[in-house]
């Protein structure tokens, strides 16, 4: 194997690792977001965990965060929860930072 092939394999491995890490962070953030939203809607216990799973799977509909935001916004509107779009997006950003930290410290 030439040094070019080795370098190519290294870059490919790093790309795959980074993509997996990004997926894990997004999934963790979405779970935390789902639990936060569940709490505001008065959902507790196993039902809150189930709701959080629906938020995680909502992120698989399209690329980016808009699908998750749209789900939370629609669910809040349906339940009469008063949270502005800005508050939801700010919480998404805060929980993303928390998720990154949790994934980083878990190794």
Domain that holds residue 49: 3-106
pLDDT score at 98: 97
φ and ψ at 79, to 5 degrees?
-95, 0
pLDDT in tens, the chain (107 residues): 677 566 666 667 666 766 788 889 999 999 999 999 999 999 999 999 999 999 999 988 888 899 999 999 999 999 999 999 999 999 999 999 999 999 988 85
Q: Shortest CA distance to 32 belongs to which of 103, 81, 107, 104?
A: 103
> Which DSSP state fits 63?
S
Question: Residue 20's pLDDT is what?
Answer: 83
Q: Give 92's Cβ-side CA count (13 Å radius).
A: 23
pLDDT at 14 (0 to 100): 67
Query: Total domain count for the chain?
Result: 1
31-48 CB burial, b ≥16 within 10 A, e <16:
bbbbbbbbeebebeeeeb
Phi, psi (degrees; rounded to nearest 5) at 56: -60, -45
Q: What is the CATH number of the domain that holds 94?
A: 1.10.790.20
| Greatest pairwise CA separation for the chain in angstroms | 62
């Amino acid at each position: 194997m030439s040094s070019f092939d080795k370098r190519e394999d290294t870059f490919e491995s790093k790309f795959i690792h980074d993509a997996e890490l990004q997926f894990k962070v997004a999934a963790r953030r979405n779970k935390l977001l789902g639990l936060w939203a569940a709490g505001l809607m008065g959902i507790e216990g196993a039902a809150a965990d189930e709701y959080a799973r629906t938020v995680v799977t909502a992120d698989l509909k399209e690329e980016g965060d808009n699908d998750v935001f749209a789900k939370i916004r629609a669910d809040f509107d349906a339940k009469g929860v008063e949270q502005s779009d800005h508050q939801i997006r700010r919480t998404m950003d805060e929980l993303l930072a928390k998720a990154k930290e949790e994934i980083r410290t878990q190794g």
